[in-house]
Protein backbone atom coordinates (compact mmCIF):
# COMPACT_ATOMS: atom_id res chain seq x y z
CA UNK A 1 0.00 0.00 0.00
CA UNK A 2 0.98 3.58 -0.45
CA UNK A 3 1.76 3.12 -4.09
CA UNK A 4 -0.77 3.19 -6.89
CA UNK A 5 -1.97 -0.43 -7.22
CA UNK A 6 -0.71 -1.79 -10.52
CA UNK A 7 0.64 1.28 -12.30
CA UNK A 8 4.02 1.52 -10.56
CA UNK A 9 5.87 0.09 -13.53
CA UNK A 10 7.54 3.39 -14.46
CA UNK A 11 5.75 5.73 -16.74
CA UNK A 12 8.98 6.51 -18.54
CA UNK A 13 8.01 4.62 -21.65
CA UNK A 14 4.94 6.76 -22.07
CA UNK A 15 6.81 9.94 -21.26
CA UNK A 16 9.28 9.08 -23.98
CA UNK A 17 6.51 8.57 -26.49
CA UNK A 18 4.86 11.83 -25.52
CA UNK A 19 8.04 13.85 -25.73
CA UNK A 20 9.13 12.18 -28.93
CA UNK A 21 5.74 12.86 -30.51
CA UNK A 22 5.96 16.53 -29.63
CA UNK A 23 9.44 16.84 -31.07
CA UNK A 24 8.70 14.77 -34.17
CA UNK A 25 5.76 17.06 -34.86
CA UNK A 26 7.53 20.31 -34.20
CA UNK A 27 10.97 19.58 -35.59
CA UNK A 28 10.49 16.60 -37.87
CA UNK A 29 11.48 12.96 -37.40
CA UNK A 30 14.93 13.10 -38.97
CA UNK A 31 15.81 16.41 -37.43
CA UNK A 32 14.89 15.25 -33.95
CA UNK A 33 17.85 13.48 -32.41
CA UNK A 34 17.68 11.00 -29.61
CA UNK A 35 19.90 13.35 -27.65
CA UNK A 36 17.20 16.02 -27.83
CA UNK A 37 14.50 13.64 -26.68
CA UNK A 38 16.65 12.41 -23.84
CA UNK A 39 17.68 15.89 -22.76
CA UNK A 40 14.12 17.18 -22.85
CA UNK A 41 13.16 14.29 -20.60
CA UNK A 42 16.11 14.55 -18.30
CA UNK A 43 17.33 11.03 -18.96
CA UNK A 44 20.23 9.62 -20.96
CA UNK A 45 20.13 8.37 -24.48
CA UNK A 46 20.85 4.91 -23.19
CA UNK A 47 17.62 5.03 -21.23
CA UNK A 48 15.69 5.37 -24.47
CA UNK A 49 17.36 2.19 -25.62
CA UNK A 50 16.20 0.41 -22.54
CA UNK A 51 12.61 1.09 -23.50
CA UNK A 52 12.80 0.99 -27.28
CA UNK A 53 14.94 -1.00 -29.65
CA UNK A 54 15.61 1.82 -32.11
CA UNK A 55 14.58 5.34 -32.92
CA UNK A 56 12.14 3.96 -35.43
CA UNK A 57 10.65 1.79 -32.74
CA UNK A 58 9.62 4.89 -30.81
CA UNK A 59 7.72 6.22 -33.78
CA UNK A 60 6.30 2.78 -34.33
CA UNK A 61 4.82 2.67 -30.86
CA UNK A 62 3.35 6.12 -31.32
CA UNK A 63 1.91 5.07 -34.63
CA UNK A 64 0.28 2.00 -33.12
CA UNK A 65 -1.27 3.99 -30.28
CA UNK A 66 -2.57 6.93 -32.24
CA UNK A 67 -3.49 4.95 -35.32
CA UNK A 68 -5.84 2.56 -33.60
CA UNK A 69 -9.04 4.53 -34.37
CA UNK A 70 -8.21 4.52 -38.05
CA UNK A 71 -7.33 0.83 -37.96
CA UNK A 72 -10.68 0.10 -36.37
CA UNK A 73 -12.38 2.22 -38.97
CA UNK A 74 -10.72 0.25 -41.74
CA UNK A 75 -11.69 -3.01 -40.12
CA UNK A 76 -15.27 -1.81 -39.89
CA UNK A 77 -15.38 -0.63 -43.50
CA UNK A 78 -14.00 -3.88 -44.78
CA UNK A 79 -17.08 -5.65 -43.45
CA UNK A 80 -19.58 -3.29 -45.05
CA UNK A 81 -20.98 -3.58 -48.57
CA UNK A 82 -19.30 -1.06 -50.88
CA UNK A 83 -22.37 1.08 -51.29
CA UNK A 84 -22.46 4.81 -51.62
CA UNK A 85 -23.98 5.05 -48.20
CA UNK A 86 -21.10 3.07 -46.71
CA UNK A 87 -18.67 5.45 -48.32
CA UNK A 88 -20.47 8.47 -47.06
CA UNK A 89 -20.34 7.03 -43.57
CA UNK A 90 -16.70 6.05 -44.02
CA UNK A 91 -15.83 9.58 -45.03
CA UNK A 92 -17.66 10.96 -42.00
CA UNK A 93 -15.89 8.63 -39.65
CA UNK A 94 -12.54 9.18 -41.30
CA UNK A 95 -12.93 12.90 -40.90
CA UNK A 96 -13.65 12.39 -37.22
CA UNK A 97 -10.83 9.91 -36.73
CA UNK A 98 -8.33 12.24 -38.35
CA UNK A 99 -9.14 14.91 -35.81
CA UNK A 100 -7.62 12.84 -33.05
CA UNK A 101 -4.97 10.98 -35.02
CA UNK A 102 -3.73 14.12 -36.69
CA UNK A 103 -0.28 14.27 -35.09
CA UNK A 104 0.99 11.03 -36.67
CA UNK A 105 -0.46 11.86 -40.03
CA UNK A 106 1.14 15.22 -39.74
CA UNK A 107 4.43 13.45 -39.16
CA UNK A 108 3.85 11.15 -42.10
CA UNK A 109 2.91 14.13 -44.21
CA UNK A 110 5.99 16.19 -43.46
CA UNK A 111 8.55 13.42 -43.37
CA UNK A 112 7.51 11.21 -46.25
CA UNK A 113 10.94 11.18 -47.85
CA UNK A 114 12.43 9.88 -44.64
CA UNK A 115 9.68 7.48 -43.63
CA UNK A 116 9.48 6.02 -47.10
CA UNK A 117 12.21 3.49 -46.39
CA UNK A 118 11.14 2.75 -42.84
CA UNK A 119 8.76 -0.05 -41.92
CA UNK A 120 6.77 2.38 -39.83
CA UNK A 121 6.36 4.61 -42.84
CA UNK A 122 4.73 1.78 -44.72
CA UNK A 123 2.42 1.06 -41.82
CA UNK A 124 1.34 4.66 -41.81
CA UNK A 125 0.80 5.16 -45.48
CA UNK A 126 -0.88 1.78 -45.74
CA UNK A 127 -3.61 3.13 -43.53
CA UNK A 128 -4.14 6.08 -45.82
CA UNK A 129 -4.05 3.85 -48.84
CA UNK A 130 -6.55 1.50 -47.24
CA UNK A 131 -9.04 4.29 -46.71
CA UNK A 132 -8.57 5.41 -50.26
CA UNK A 133 -8.96 1.86 -51.56
CA UNK A 134 -12.16 1.36 -49.62
CA UNK A 135 -13.53 4.64 -50.92
CA UNK A 136 -12.77 3.52 -54.44
CA UNK A 137 -14.09 -0.01 -53.96
CA UNK A 138 -16.50 -1.42 -56.51
CA UNK A 139 -16.84 -1.04 -60.22
CA UNK A 140 -16.83 2.75 -60.44
CA UNK A 141 -16.91 4.75 -63.60
CA UNK A 142 -13.99 7.08 -64.25
CA UNK A 143 -15.87 10.29 -63.45
CA UNK A 144 -17.13 8.87 -60.24
CA UNK A 145 -13.63 7.82 -59.22
CA UNK A 146 -12.48 11.36 -59.67
CA UNK A 147 -15.23 12.69 -57.44
CA UNK A 148 -14.30 10.13 -54.84
CA UNK A 149 -10.68 11.18 -55.15
CA UNK A 150 -11.59 14.82 -54.69
CA UNK A 151 -13.65 14.02 -51.63
CA UNK A 152 -10.88 12.03 -50.03
CA UNK A 153 -8.27 14.69 -50.83
CA UNK A 154 -10.51 17.35 -49.36
CA UNK A 155 -11.09 15.53 -46.09
CA UNK A 156 -7.58 14.20 -45.72
CA UNK A 157 -5.51 17.23 -46.59
CA UNK A 158 -8.09 19.64 -45.25
CA UNK A 159 -7.20 18.28 -41.85
CA UNK A 160 -3.72 19.81 -42.08
CA UNK A 161 -2.66 23.35 -42.80
CA UNK A 162 -5.02 26.29 -42.22
CA UNK A 163 -6.03 26.10 -45.84
CA UNK A 164 -7.71 29.29 -46.85
CA UNK A 165 -7.55 31.77 -44.01
CA UNK A 166 -8.42 31.26 -40.40
CA UNK A 167 -12.17 31.57 -40.55
CA UNK A 168 -14.15 29.68 -37.97
CA UNK A 169 -12.76 27.11 -35.54
CA UNK A 170 -10.78 24.06 -36.56
CA UNK A 171 -13.83 21.98 -35.80
CA UNK A 172 -16.15 24.16 -37.87
CA UNK A 173 -13.82 23.97 -40.82
CA UNK A 174 -13.54 20.24 -40.53
CA UNK A 175 -17.31 19.85 -40.52
CA UNK A 176 -17.74 22.24 -43.43
CA UNK A 177 -15.09 20.55 -45.54
CA UNK A 178 -16.71 17.22 -44.82
CA UNK A 179 -20.00 18.61 -46.11
CA UNK A 180 -18.33 19.83 -49.29
CA UNK A 181 -16.68 16.47 -49.73
CA UNK A 182 -19.95 14.62 -49.22
CA UNK A 183 -21.65 16.84 -51.77
CA UNK A 184 -18.86 16.22 -54.24
CA UNK A 185 -19.16 12.53 -53.58
CA UNK A 186 -22.83 12.47 -54.52
CA UNK A 187 -22.33 14.68 -57.49
CA UNK A 188 -24.65 17.22 -55.89
CA UNK A 189 -23.88 20.85 -55.18
CA UNK A 190 -23.01 21.75 -51.63
CA UNK A 191 -26.33 22.89 -50.14
CA UNK A 192 -26.93 26.64 -49.93
CA UNK A 193 -24.71 28.53 -52.32
CA UNK A 194 -24.76 31.79 -54.17
CA UNK A 195 -22.97 31.30 -57.52
CA UNK A 196 -20.83 34.39 -58.11
CA UNK A 197 -20.40 36.50 -55.02
CA UNK A 198 -16.63 36.66 -55.31
Q: CA 186, CA 35: separation in Å to the nearest integer?
A: 50
- Rule CB under 8 A: say whether 138 interacts with a copy of itself: yes
- Of a copy of itself, DNA, none, which one does residue 110 interact with (CB within 5 to 8 Å by kind)? a copy of itself
Closest CA to 118 of 102, 107, 129: 107
- Of a copy of itself, DNA, none, which one does residue 49 interact with (CB within 5 to 8 Å by kind)? DNA
Determine phi and psi for 6, rounding to 5 degrees.
-115, 0
- Rule CB under 8 A: say whether 110 interacts with a copy of itself: yes
Residue closer to a copy of itself, measured from CB, 1 or 193: 193
- Rule CB under 8 A: say whether 122 interacts with a copy of itself: no
- Rule CB under 8 A: say whether 86 interacts with a copy of itself: yes
Instruction: Tally Cβ neighbours within 10 Å of residue 58.
Output: 25
32-40 contact pairs (CB < 8 A, 24+): none
Q: Which stretch binds a copy of itself (CB under 8 A): 5-13, 36-44, 80-88, 90-98?
A: 80-88
- Rule CB under 8 A: say whether 61 interacts with a copy of itself: no
Among 12, 80, 125, 150, binds DNA (CB under 7 A): 12
Give the CA diameter of the chain.
Answer: 71
- Rule CB under 8 A: say whether 12 interacts with a copy of itself: no
Closest CA to 157 of 187, 137, 177, 182: 177
- Of a copy of itself, DNA, none, which one does residue 69 interact with (CB within 5 to 8 Å by kind)? none
- Cβ atoms of residues 104 and 61 within 8 Å: no
Amino acid sequence: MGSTPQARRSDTRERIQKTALDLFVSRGYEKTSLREIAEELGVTKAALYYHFKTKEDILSAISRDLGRPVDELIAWAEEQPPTMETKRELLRRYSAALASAMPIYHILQENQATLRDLAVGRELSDRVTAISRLMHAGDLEFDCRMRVASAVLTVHFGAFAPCGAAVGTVEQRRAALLDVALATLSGAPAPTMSPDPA
